[in-house]
Structure 1
Amino acid sequence: MELNTTKAITDSWFYRLRENLSIDVAIAGTGPSGLIAALRIAQAGFKVSMFESKLAPGGGMWGGAMLFSSVAIQTDAVRILDELEIKYQSYENNDYEGLVTCDSVLATSALIYHASKAGVVIHNGMSVEDVVFKNNQVAGVVVNWGSVVREGLHVDPLSVRSKIVVDATGHPCEIAETVANKNNIKLNTPSGKVLGERSMDADKGEAETVENTKEIFPGLYVCGMAANGVSGSPRMGPIFGGMLLSGEKAAKLIIEELNDKK
């Protein structure tokens, strides 16, 4: 039994890896914006893999607000909650300025489940430490075990080729930083570099999360808090409507590009 268990697990895992070494879209980070982007792109028939350095996908949504397992969603994004069958609490007389609240664990679980069900491959425990850079464009991701990266061990990585890479790493916008710093290139930002996230302004931050979702270099898109970090916009706290809408916008732009390349 022990040997058969090991064989079954390794065979299935390596088969999945081999089948996803060349894909349409690679997404670094698995927060809510990345998950919605992955879901929509997979629903459009494209091959998507996500890479999460920690064990659990879901990003910061798990923790709710300061470990209160509740998050706020603008009514503009409630249709997504309805689609994914995420229960939420609405309020009479618009007491909370067009917000609903939902359980952070339920919401995060639902996003992960629906993305996986749509065919998105989620590699947990695997970190994107660099990109493949060819012909002056981003052409894939360079991956290693999350634990190897955290320990700072000198272990060479592997690579996954993709037509498009998405930086959904949240506040640090790690992929955009790496691409700009290593390759001496200009990003699609006012300074050509990563501007860095500003202090909290929820109204402005929520709107600009969607506005800043775009292609910042050939082959490289940003969504969610990574989009705000790259473009120098504020953080917004435990409000996730902008995250979800940002993911949808990223997916729309990417699907259009992939269809144009067919």
Structure 2
Amino acid sequence: MDEANVSQAILEAYHAKFVQALRSDVIVVGAGPSGLVAAGKLAQEGLAVVLLERRLSPGGGIWGGSLGMNEAVVEADALPLLDGAGIRHQEAAGGLHTVKAVELASALCLAAVRAGVALLNLMTAEDVCVHRSRLTGVVANRSWLADGLPIDPITFSAKAVVDATGHEAVLVQCLRRRHLLTDPSPHGPVGEGVMDATAGEQFVVENVSEIFPGLWITGMSVCASLGGPRMGPIFGGMLRSGARAAEQVTAALMEQHTPARKRKDHANV
């Protein structure tokens, strides 16, 4: 075996995927539970979807469960999403269900990739691209280059962008820092509220929205942007929030009469 052939195979495959990802229908930033569901659902609609994740491993906060105990909890409302991805679950007290965190994270990743999502890990979103008062892309850098080195980033362009970056609401904060998004939250101070699992699970689904032209929020980015309560180690709202974001983005692109472009390569990793 020629080791150079191994390197060449990696470079050629990744280069082809990266070039195709530069222009897409939708960019989802953050491969946590909400981002994975949103990306997968959008790809199933025939859209070309790029999913950027700053960490090595996608899955967000699923892996650690609570206190490092790798079990996840969901409500009955989220079971159709689990069943659709072939994720097993067990009934627990109070109408809740438990899921093995490793299975949940792995299955959501696999479902997204098999749907045609181009998942680029180790990519940190550091800014946004705005043209004529509409968000048109994401400025990203390699995660290990984002701090400390004077290396310019690269821009990914899309017709719609979803902020699924969780507690940091990275893209929303990029707009706020530039005073491009100045409307105060109608739900309270900007930033997450205190723990209220019931209210938080409802808030994170009901308040999925296009917060700025071309930019949707989902998952914990909803709470961080609009002052919603946190909900702790329960993931049903995250999953349903991602599904609702996908519905809204799909409807918006259809209204714009934007032709969907399904990715040919269903093995993007």
The whole-number CA distance in structure 1 between the counterparts of 2:64 and 2:167 is: 15
Contact 2:161 2:215 in 1 (8 A): yes
Contact 2:184 2:190 in 1 (8 A): no
Distance 1:112 1:194, change over 3 A: farther
Aligned ranges 1:124-135 → 2 under 5 Å: 124-135=121-132
Q: Which of 75-84 and 41-50 deviates more?
A: 75-84
Contact 2:207 2:222 in 1 (8 A): yes
What secondary structure sits across from 1:3 in the alignment?
helix
**AA matched with 2:52:** F
Contact 1:176 1:194 in 2 (8 A): no
Distance 1:238 1:100, change over 3 A: same
**AA matched with 2:206:** E
**AA matched with 1:121:** A
Long gaps (5+) in structure 2: 258-269
- 1:187: Cα distance to partner? 4.8
**1:136-195: per-residue Cα shift (whole Å, max 9, x none)?**
11001001001112x33221111011011111000111110011212433358339x981
Long gaps (5+) in structure 1: none
Find the counterpart in structure 1 of residue 4 from structure 2: 3
C-alpha RMSD over aligned residues: 1.5
The whole-number CA distance in structure 2 between the counterparts of 1:209 and 1:84 is: 21
Distance 1:144 1:222, change over 3 A: same
The whole-number CA distance in structure 2 between the counterparts of 1:237 and 1:258 is: 33
Contact 2:71 2:101 in 1 (8 A): yes
State the TM-score, normalizing by the size of structure 1. Answer: 0.94
State the TM-score, normalizing by the size of structure 2. Answer: 0.92
Contact 1:187 1:217 in 2 (8 A): no
> Matched residue pairs, number?
256
Establish whether residue 259 from structure 1 lines up as the match of residue 257 from structure 2. no
Identity %: 40
Distance 1:105 1:229, change over 3 A: same
Establish whether residue 155 from structure 1 lines up as the match of residue 166 from structure 2. no
Contact 1:52 1:122 in 2 (8 A): yes
Distance 1:88 1:158, change over 3 A: same
What secondary structure sits across from 1:106 in the alignment?
helix
**AA matched with 2:209:** K
Within the candidate set 86, 105, 111, 2:108 is matched to 111
What secondary structure sits across from 2:166 in the alignment?
coil
**AA matched with 1:248:** A
**AA matched with 2:228:** S
